[in-house]
Amino acid sequence: MDQDSSNVLESRGRGIYLLPNLFTLTALFAGFYSIVAAMKGRFELAAIAIFIAMLLDALDGRVARLTNTQTNFGAELDSLSDMVSFGVAPALLCYAWSLTSLGKIGWLAAFVFAATVALRLARFNTRKSVDKRYFQGLACPAGAGILASVIWLCEQQGIDASSLSVLMAVITVATGALMVSNIPYRSFKDANLKDRVKFVTMLAVALVLVLVAMDPPKVLFVTLILYGLSGPFIRLWSLLKKRRTIIHK
């Protein structure tokens, strides 16, 4: 019996942890529902489904770490779920909502986004050493969230999608480019949920929840756009600071 067959039988014997993989499968379901809703022209629901997938994706890894149920199977399942929820779903949503009016350019722009998600996931899965404090490039959930927040906000405000087709194509391709870039983004994965926090921190969390509840599309749009721009801004600032240091020397 070869090594691969032995690993499969061993994996079957051990079974699969239910709790973290349940979160992952539910995130996959939300991503798939987003595709179905976009096909039916229910774009606001499709965008909301992507945000639900983002929330579940953020929880599955933390649940696995807190319950000590991390496995290679779960990591692979999470990656496949991400490809659907944050690659295919937002790309098809953008195409169905606005990019379809651009013809060939429109579906090519959507494909570029889906392709960059696949490339980013492949790069992430093959890296050996990772600084958990930072992402290398914009994370896939954040990239998908940027596109979904634009569509959700425009649908809420009654903005005509066809009038934004060119701008949406630019945003779609630019977001994809940020995902495969080497620009560092703060990941916040180093935050320890088991540690005690100050009362002010809990107050800030409550305030954020209130702001999101007041107007989710606007708050999420502003938050994700600022996060997307934070990487290039910090990189540019560091380059300018380094250049000034060299000049003064």
pLDDT of residue 8: 44
Which residues touch 16 (CB under 8 Å, ≥6 apart)? 71, 73, 74
Query: What is the tens place of the pLDDT at every residue in 109-120?
Result: 999 999 999 999
Which residues touch 78 (CB under 8 Å, ≥6 apart)? 24, 57, 60, 61
Residue spans of alpha helices (H) in the chain: 3-14, 18-39, 43-66, 72-83, 89-97, 104-126, 140-157, 165-179, 199-214, 216-248
Q: Which residues of the chain have pLDDT under 50?
A: 1, 3, 5-13
Q: Which amino acid is at 81?
A: S
pLDDT of residue 124: 86
Rounded to whole angstroms, the Cα distance separating 221 from 143 reads 12
Q: Which amino acid is at 80?
A: L
Query: Residue 245 burial (CB < 10 Å; 0-12/13-18/19+)?
Result: exposed
Contact 43, 37 (CB under 8 A): yes
Which CATH number is associated with domain 16-190+204-248? 1.20.120.1760
pLDDT of residue 14: 62
* Residues recorded for the chain: 249
pLDDT of residue 6: 45
pTM, 2 dp: 0.86
- Of 235, 108, 93, 226, which is closest to residue 170 (Cα–Cα)? 108
Can you give the residue ranges of every domain in the chain? 16-190+204-248
Q: Give Cα 1 distance to the centre of its chain.
A: 40
Residue 183's SS3 state is: coil
pLDDT of residue 85: 97
Sign of CA dihedral 156, 159, 161, 166: negative
